Amino acid sequence: MTFEVLHNDPASEARAGVIATDHGQVTTPIFMPVGTCGAVKGVHFSELKEQVEAQIILGNTYHLYLRPGLDTLRRAGGLHRFNTWDRPILTDSGGFQVFSLTAIRKLSDEGCEFRSHIDGSKHIFTPENVMDTQRIIGADIMMALDECPPGESDYGYAKKSLGLTQRWLDRCIARFNQTEPLYGHQQVLFPIVQGCQYRDLRQEAAKFVVDRLGQLPTTGVAIGGLAVGEPTEVMYDMIEVVNDILPKDRPRYLMGVGTPQNILEAIERGVDMFDCVMPTRNGRNAMLFTYQGTMNLRNKKWEHDFSPIDPEGCPIDRLHTKAYLHHLFKAQELLALQIASIHNLAFYLRLVGDARRHIINGDFTQWKRTVVDNLGRRI
């Protein structure tokens, strides 16, 4: 993998770059649709390419490990061949999913013991077997195993958790460097910066990661543990703290974030990569993002609105009307979920694409000020 910063915004930390992988290039800033189990909910890969214009998708190590399982993925030749997505894939480590299963997991230096949410069977993730699992999945970008503590964790727990994540990182790097890709394309490993909402812990975590980057010469860095309950302004402050320390020649990935406003604020602070389930989850609940604000297509006000869903949006937005999509939701037609999910994903890709164009033009901060407030409106 290579990363090149092509343009810097003169009034902020925003930058436009390009990541090159064996499965193709990714222009940044970029949003990655979440394909948890090897599929983006309600959206076929042809639509991801033609309507959404997705360049890279995300898969989840926890879910893929449980279903379809490593034997199937290895026999298939990895996730790219199994699901036929021929562009880059990033896998997270499963750490966040294990964090969300608080009642059925146990952490130790060895790793994380947990029970499957499917059948209750017992499993353990260690830094070593998570590296092996992601080798079998075959993602272009792999994540180190980490603990993602709640945003409101007290300082003592946050510090203890960070120590565990750092010890796991050293073991992840060792295992990654001892193993090779299985399917003929290169893979890279991203460390994850944790530290909750504590400035000194975030600084310590970022410096710890920077110290290890010499062992991972072609890689980027992920920022985890944000948008998990802390106030929004604290999240922005932690991004600034971390990005002040991380090198400028590595891509920065803010995990699991977030709203359109969150994304623009993070781009302004130097973040390059994003993922979030919000576009598809909100779409399935009839909430559509636009530059004018968020529309609830179940509302009666759209019943006789025969204007396009979004006249500036993707082809499917221009094909169908708000009234038709309102009807589909009221009739509980599955097509409603599909159209809304495509719209939201396409809007997120359009948003980061517009941000990139304004960074290149040198007027990102001015443009961002004109659109960010409207993004949070309900219309």
Residue 379 CB-half CA count within 13 A: 15
Per the CB < 8 A criterion, the answer to whether 155 and 200 are in contact is: no
Q: How far is CA 207 from the centre of its chain?
A: 23
Per the CB < 8 A criterion, the answer to whether 16 and 6 are in contact is: yes
Q: What is the pLDDT of residue 30?
A: 98
Q: What is the pLDDT of residue 58?
A: 97
Q: What is the pLDDT of residue 102?
A: 54
How far apart (Å, rounded) are the C-alpha atoms in residues 204 and 195? Answer: 8
Mean pLDDT throughout 293-306? Answer: 98
Confidence of residue 100 (pLDDT cuts 50, 70, 90): confident
pLDDT > 90? residue 276: yes
Per the CB < 8 A criterion, the answer to whether 330 and 300 are in contact is: no
Reduced to 3 states (helix: H, G, I; strand: E, B; else coil), residue 221 is strand
How far apart (Å, rounded) are the C-alpha atoms in residues 7 and 166? Answer: 33
Confidence of residue 97 (pLDDT cuts 50, 70, 90): confident
pLDDT > 80? residue 99: no
Per the CB < 8 A criterion, the answer to whether 19 and 3 are in contact is: yes
Q: Which of 90-99, 143-152, 342-351 has the lowest mean pLDDT?
A: 90-99
pLDDT > 60? residue 242: yes
**pLDDT 10s digits, 13-50:** 999 999 999 999 999 999 999 999 999 999 999 999 99
Mean pLDDT throughout 277-294? Answer: 98
Q: What is the dihedral angle through the alpha carbons of 127, 101, 72, 26, rounded to the nearest 10 degrees? A: -70
The pTM is what? 0.97
Q: Which of 45-49, 82-86, 122-126, 351-355 has the lowest mean pLDDT?
A: 122-126
Confidence of residue 103 (pLDDT cuts 50, 70, 90): low
**Amino acid identity, position 276:** C
Per the CB < 8 A criterion, the answer to whether 55 and 30 are in contact is: yes
- Point out the residues that are catalytic: 92, 275
List for the chain the helix, strand, coil content (%; round to 5): 45, 20, 35
Mean pLDDT throughout 256-284? Answer: 97
Q: Which of 88-102, 149-163, 265-279, 356-370 has the lowest mean pLDDT?
A: 88-102
Measured at the CA of 220, the angle between CA 1 and CA 208, to 5 degrees, comes to 140
Q: What is the pLDDT of residue 227?
A: 86
Mean pLDDT throughout 167-182? Answer: 98
Q: What is the pLDDT of residue 349?
A: 98
How far apart (Å, rounded) are the C-alpha atoms in residues 22 and 44? Answer: 23
Tokens for 118, please give them.
């499917």
Confidence of residue 230 (pLDDT cuts 50, 70, 90): confident
Confidence of residue 117 (pLDDT cuts 50, 70, 90): confident
